[in-house]
Structure 1
Amino acid sequence: MATLNISLPDELKMRMDATNENWSAIARRAFELQLKSTMSIGDNDMNTVIERLRASKQKIEEVQRPGWIEEGRKWAMETAEYDQLERVAQLAELDAEAMAPDAGALFRALCEAIYEDGDGYLREELAEQLTGDARRWPSYDQLCWYIEGVQQVWNEVSDEI
């Protein structure tokens, strides 16, 4: 097996040392994902396109999912009222096939669950809250991850309320 030296900022190395992670395995996986996502397309080889896009999708999920889950948890723990929390948690229990992959329908359902009203103004407010831009709605996956974070909190507290 080949050896590769990588330079890291001291602060990052200290944080890495404070964990029990297998950083070599993590680095190998990251390198593999990056290679797959940057493979060139030759002779209209759709398998190459599919592999590249799968790697890109996996990379996006690994980077974004924890943050969206954390945002959902944060809203549930710091802002949500009981009825809002219950309604949003119920969204996680809906038949995923019924809404997939309609981000617009799921976004409207989330807006209605939070505000009990799905009008355009409130959707813009929710988009601003979630993405930082009132004109940019989250993707279907981002919404699912956010709702997953809310569902986690609901599961932790619902028996105690």
Structure 2
Amino acid sequence: MARVSIYVSETLKAKMDRFPGVNWSDEAQLAFQQAIAREGQKRKPDMQAAIERLRASKEKSMKDGREDGHQAGREWAEKKAEYAELRRIADIDLGVGVEHAFGMLRMACDPQKEATDEEIIEDLSGDLDIPTTDEWVAGFIEGAQEFFEEVEDQL
């Protein structure tokens, strides 16, 4: 992989340092891909340029959804989760694919299948209007799992 040096202001660097878990290289690569796609569309407005632009947009949307879900899952685990449901979420293996994430989350939160999908989403996120994509749900699970791992030995 090639190396590129990027200069940022001291103020921006200080803000970046407050988030040590962020992979700034990945963030920069995503921004570069979007800029390339956008500029390519301006210079040569054809189907391939549109596909590249939309591909970059899709990647950003999926990444943002995962991050939003992660934050929501962690917040839910900290403020609302019951031990039993959090324990079941901790056992979810996302290795089977994010397309099954909602079904696994649904079973962990409602093993008796008493609630509707909408009720589960509202209970977990507090907002029915939130876009619960597969990526968002996978991020939610990861956020809740991360919190549980941090506190499990203290329970």
Instruction: Place the TM-score, normalised by the shorter chain, in its bin.
Output: 0.5 to 0.7
Is contact 2:69-2:139 (8 Å) kept? yes
Identity of aligned residues (%): 28
- Counterparts of 2:53 and 2:149, CA distance in 1: 36
Match of 1:125 in 2: 119
1:54–1:146 Cα change, 3 Å: same
Q: SS in structure 2 opposite 1:111?
A: helix
Match of 1:10 in 2: none
Q: Which has the higher contact order (CA 8 A, sep 6+)?
A: 2
Which residue of structure 2 aligns with residue 83 of structure 1? 84
2:73 and 2:141 in contact (8 A); partners too: yes
Structure 1 Cα separation of the partners of residues 103 and 111 of structure 2 = 10
The count of corresponding residues between Structure 1 and Structure 2 is 135
Of 84, 92, 115, the residue aligned with 2:110 is: 115
**Whole-Å separation in 2 of the counterparts to 1:147 and 1:62:** 15
Residues 1:27 and 1:96: Cα distance change in structure 2 (over 3 Å): closer
- For 1:154, the equivalent position in structure 2 comes to 148
Corresponding position of 1:64: 65
CA distance in 1, matches of 2:128, 2:39: 29
Unaligned stretches of 5+ residues in structure 1: 1-12
TM-score (norm. length: structure 1): 0.63
Q: Tell me, which stretches of 5 or more residues in structure 2 are unaligned?
A: 1-8, 18-24
